[in-house]
Chain A
Amino acid sequence: MRCKKCGHEIGPEELRCPYCGAENSYAVQHQKNMKRFKKDYKKTRNEVIRSAQSTRGLATRAAILIVLIIGCIIMTIVTSLNYVDPDPREANRRDAERHVDEYVSEAEEFLKRGEYTEFVSFMYAHDLHNIAWDKAEHLVSVNYVAQEYYECIEHMEEIILRSTDPDYFDGLDTDIRNFCMYVDGFYEVLEVQRNRKKSKEYHAYMDDMDAELRAAMRTYFSMDDQALEEFLSKTEAQKAVILEGILRHE
């Protein structure tokens, strides 16, 4: 650059012209700027360091907290998975989904053969009442009745084939109570399902179950038709008292 006064060539950092002694305004301004920049830089640097020092602990704490929270979440998931027992019906469900048509027709065969307890067990074992609503819908009504019939027959068998060993647990009262509950349930469900037009083609099976249940009660509870009708008209508790008398020969 050149001196504004004498026109000689001078360096940009020279504060005065070495030839005429005039002030180099650019160099002076530059020096001032540099001083201010250095001051600002120091100030900013100090602020940054101070701020970093004050927040240093926060970042560490936040990191520890995040690690702990993630650890807790992982352990909760692992713990939950450990406590889950495998579903024993899962395999049956998958199998039924694959062979649903085959199983539905097999269930119908049980009905045709009059094997109603087998029908109910088969429906349950293959989860047909849960997974195959579209394909086994026609069996739903008869299945409701058959379930009650199943319970009645099961409890009658438990009553008749109970142990008479005095050293063995006597569960007769419980079995009688259960039977009375289910026999009432059977006739309630039968009445509802008999009135459903959709289940018309299965009414014959329902009537057959009714006939078998009545025959079973006549046979094993020593009742004639009149006594049976009277028995069926009683309340659950009254039925239990009557059966207690018959079965314990009281």
Chain B
Amino acid sequence: MNKMMKVVLDILIVIACLAFLFLTIEMVSSYRYAHREKEDPIETELRVFEYELRHKSYGEIIDTYYVERMYNFEPQDGMEDIYNVAEYAHAAFMSRVYAEKGDDRMSESNALRMETVRNRLGAYAYTADEVDEVIRNAP
């Protein structure tokens, strides 16, 4: 009886040793995962933003803005330019919508908003002209 118990325990110990070994490797991997080098998301967004600006892809900038704003309604440090350019593009898009709808109140407040955002654009002021041109000529 005792001999059989010893054999059973020996088998269990071998299994436990293998599990221990596997879990040690897994724990080391998980530690490396937890301490992996992470890319600064803002830096990445800014690189993508510059790339999209070069190709005048304001639609993609707006997409980034909508996604980001779901997490941070106010821009994080470094994201202000993306928010400003996208906000202007959105307001410019809506300007024709309000005009078509005949909503003078919204048209006025939207024009004011466009003006305010345009003044915040700084080095990216040229984007406002580009967006205006696209909106004017659409579709």
Contact = CB atoms under 8 A, between A and B. Distances in A.
Interface in B39-69: 52, 55-63, 66, 69
A158 B130 CA distance: 15
Given A164-B56, A221-B139, A216 B20 contact: no
| B contacts with A: majority SS | helix
A79 interface: yes
Contacts, number: 147
Contacts of A165: 55-57
**Range for the number of chain A residues in contact with chain B:** 35 or more
Count chain B CB atoms within 10 A of each CB in A55, A156, A168, A218 and give the residue with the most.
A168
A25 B135 CA distance: 128
Nearest to A214: B101
Given A58-B5, A167-B55, A212-B97, A72 B23 contact: yes
B114 interface: no
B88 to A, nearest CB: 11
A218 B93 contact: no
A59 B32 CA distance: 37
Interface in A91-117: 92, 113-114, 117
Contact of B70 (A124, A211, A215, A221): A124
6 contacts: A55-B2, A65-B16, A68-B17, A158-B60, A171-B59, A220-B138
Interface of B: 2, 5-6, 9-10, 12-13, 16-17, 19-20, 23-24, 26-27, 30-31, 33-34, 52, 55-63, 66, 69-73, 89-90, 93, 96-101, 103, 106, 109, 131, 134-135, 138-139
